Amino acid sequence: MNYRHSFHAGNFADVLKHVTLLGLIDAMQRKDKGFLLLDTHAGRGGYLLESSEAQRTGECEGGVCRVVDLRPPEQQPKRQQLSPAPLLRSYVDAVRTFNVATHGDASALRAYPGSPLLAARTLRPQDRLIACELQPTEHKALGEALGPFANARAELRDGYAAVKALMPPVERRALILIDPPFEAQEAEFDAILASVRDALQRLPSAVIAVWFPIKRRAGVQRFLRRAADQPATSVLLAELLVRPDDSPLRMNGSGMLLINPPWQFDQQLAQVMPQLRSLMGENEPTSDLRWLKQAD
């Protein structure tokens, strides 16, 4: 296991994933009853955009840096001056307040909150977060990052096994984020789908969000067909390609597969996807939002 998210934090794929995650949490919180948020592949929590890893790839330049510009409006490029959709506004606010909390400064983007920290910072007292991470050094940092949050816990364990062990939760409401490193693409797709089945067997109403990379479209078609066959009420797909998907050598885009998405979540995504495309697109960018399976 060589993957380190520090090289990739805040890239265009993180932006789509985290915009979606915050929207899902918000939708879950429309009901008073608490829920369990299970982050199966959590990473270390917080990332420094000035770290040598982040600087080496510069990936955040094509992602969060285009979306969250903390400079005064007159110094920002034109494309950043659009009126943000509600999901985008929540994301920008979350990244900005995280920078204030960590650096006491809202004028520059220095730090980036990963999924468990974004989640922990939005949970209500009745909600819980369990964040799983398999690499000991990443898990240690995650434990420290989540320390201040009474209802968030970092666990050093396999996230797929955690789905089996922890579903159904006592709350009988769950949001599961599955965001693996995809070191072996086909094997990862198999593991994801097995985990989705495990979760739905134990809690049919579970809301599950799966992130996946797109190099060439052909590489994900079989996965999406199999995802549409899951015993869920509905399956929604949101994809953003920042350039054509014609090269197998690099990540050209990414997608979020949403199983049992909240009511009208498609409409919220419909507002934000074109904005993300225009902010982060490089060369002939495209976005797609469609139901793979829709409730009757």
Ligand X SMILES: C[S@@+](CC[C@H](N)C(=O)[O-])C[C@H]1O[C@@H](n2cnc3c(N)ncnc32)[C@H](O)[C@@H]1O
Active site residue ranges: 179
> Which listed range, 1-9, 200-208, 231-239, 243-251, lies at the site for ligand X (CB under 6 A)?
1-9
- Secondary structure string (H, E, C) spanning the chain: CCCCHHHCCCCHHHHHHHHHHHHHHHHHCCCCCCCEEEECCCCCCEEECCCHHHHHHCHHHHCHHHHCCCCCHHHCCHHHHCCCCHHHHHHHHHHHHHHHHHHCCCCCCCEEECHHHHHHCCCCCCCEEEEECCCHHHHHHHHHHHCCCCCEEEECCCHHHHHHHHCCCCCCCEEEEECCCCCCHHHHHHHHHHHHHHHHHHCCCCEEEEEEEECECHHHHHHHHHHHCCCCCCEEEEEEECCCCECCCCCCEEEEEEECCCCCHHHHHHHHHHHHHHHHCCCCCEEEEEEEECCC
Give residues 90-129 in contact with ligand X (rule: CB under 6 A).
Answer: 114-115
When the beta carbons of 7 and 291 are compared against ligand X, the nearer one is 7
Binder among 168, 181, 213, 244 for ligand X (CB under 6 A): 181
**Position 159 contacts ligand X (CB under 6 A):** yes
Range 19-78, binding ligand X (CB under 6 A): 41-43
Site string for ligand X, 126-145 (x = CB under 6 A): ------xxxx--x-------
Q: Considering only the stretches 60-68, 80-88, 152-160, 165-173, report the one whose residues sit in contact with ligand X under the rule CB under 6 A.
A: 152-160
Stretches 155-163, 231-239, 265-273, 288-296: which one binds ligand X (CB under 6 A)? 155-163
User: Does 188 help bind ligand X (rule: CB under 6 A)?
Assistant: no
Nearer to ligand X by Cβ, of 176 and 293: the residue is: 176
Residues in contact with ligand X by the rule CB under 6 A: 1, 3, 5, 14, 17, 41-43, 114-115, 132-135, 138, 158-160, 179-181
